[in-house]
Amino acid sequence: MKPNSQQIQTFSSSTTTPKAGFRRDDVKEQVDELLRTLDSVLLGKQHQIKLSLACLFGRGHLLIEDLPGMGKTLLSHALARVLGFSYNRIQFTSDVLPSDIIGATIFDKGENTFRFVEGPLFAQLILADEINRATPKSQSALLEAMEERQVTHDGASRMLPDPFFVIGTQNPSTQAGTFALPESQLDRFLMRIELGYPEPAAERELLLSGDRREYLAELQPILTLNEFQGIQQAVDQVGVSEPLIDYLQRLVAFSRQGNEFAFGLSPRGALALLKSAKAWSLIHDRTHVVPEDLQAVLPSVVEHRLRESADFTGNSGGALAQKLLASVDVVA
């Protein structure tokens, strides 16, 4: 149910105030340029591009699940280029070991000592490609990095670059040779999205213009590190009203009380939903979160966190997300 104009005014009564020095016009120009540039590479996928940016602006990791050839790798590489991040791709297979991604200690004959050689995990944006083709042991090697933004090797903790993001891609679990990600690791991803088949107009443009991967080399960084961090801080400053929190809590409570839910949203899931809604609000140049922001990001935030009681495949989250939106009124 959508709120009326009087209810929108109530949701606009924020309980937080932007800090001094906040320049919303600058942020809007930066976000608009990011959207235009990425849309020119990944044709017809502006909604997914917005969700991806909202995920990174909200300091979260992103999981992209879709069939091969849909543009998962293209999107992640384009994000790294326009954000100016160092970038590594890790191709997961069944024989990838944790040391293959974290790094290893080797003996340096010249220095007559042992030294640690960093693995591909030491970059600001990591594409964990086909993560569900790796064994559970290798999948779990990412867990500490995603949660703590550090890795442990030979008893020593080593900090990862700042910022540090993982974009995991996986093929549908129905494909051969895949290992389902455990719920503990799925929960570390702020969002899960699907790209899907392109619309006919976008596909026609793709066919006429050629492989979009050729455009990657032409992409230049749009943001400096300070500007990116400024957008993250701007997300923190987006206002949230008491009625909006009430609506969020009703959504969470419904997931915990319905018999069809195997388990409800955790406090981490509730925080993820709020954080994502604030980032979505900023992308749309709003100073406060409105119910439409929560509704726009909810499927991507909760689908991989929910499962029907009678479902053991983990594929029922989409239907449960839609049930949440349909069953919980914006205003009690």
Determine contact, residues 89/125, Cβ cutoff 8 Å: no
pTM of the model as a whole: 0.89
Rg of the chain over all Cα atoms, to the nearest angstrom: 21
Q: What is the pLDDT of residue 311?
A: 65
Determine contact, residues 165/124, Cβ cutoff 8 Å: yes
Average pLDDT over every residue of 56-79: 94
Q: 239-298, pLDDT tens digit by residue?
A: 999 999 999 999 999 999 878 888 889 999 999 999 999 999 999 999 999 999 999 999
Angstrom distance (rounded) from CA 164 to CA 166:
7
Q: What is the pLDDT of residue 128?
A: 94
Among 12-26, 44-58, 237-251, 273-287, which stretch is predicted with the lowest mean pLDDT?
Answer: 12-26
Residues in CB range of 282: below 8 A, 6 or more apart: 27, 31, 57, 231, 234, 235, 238
Q: What is the pLDDT of residue 312?
A: 60
Dihedral (CA of 200, 202, 203, 208) sign: positive
3-state secondary structure of 74: helix
Among 33-47, 52-66, 128-142, 286-300, which stretch is predicted with the lowest mean pLDDT?
Answer: 128-142
Angstrom distance (rounded) from CA 302 to CA 37:
28
Mean pLDDT rounded to a whole number for the chain: 87
For the chain, domains (ranges, CATH) are 61-219 (3.40.50.300)
Cβ count near 233 (within 10 Å): 14
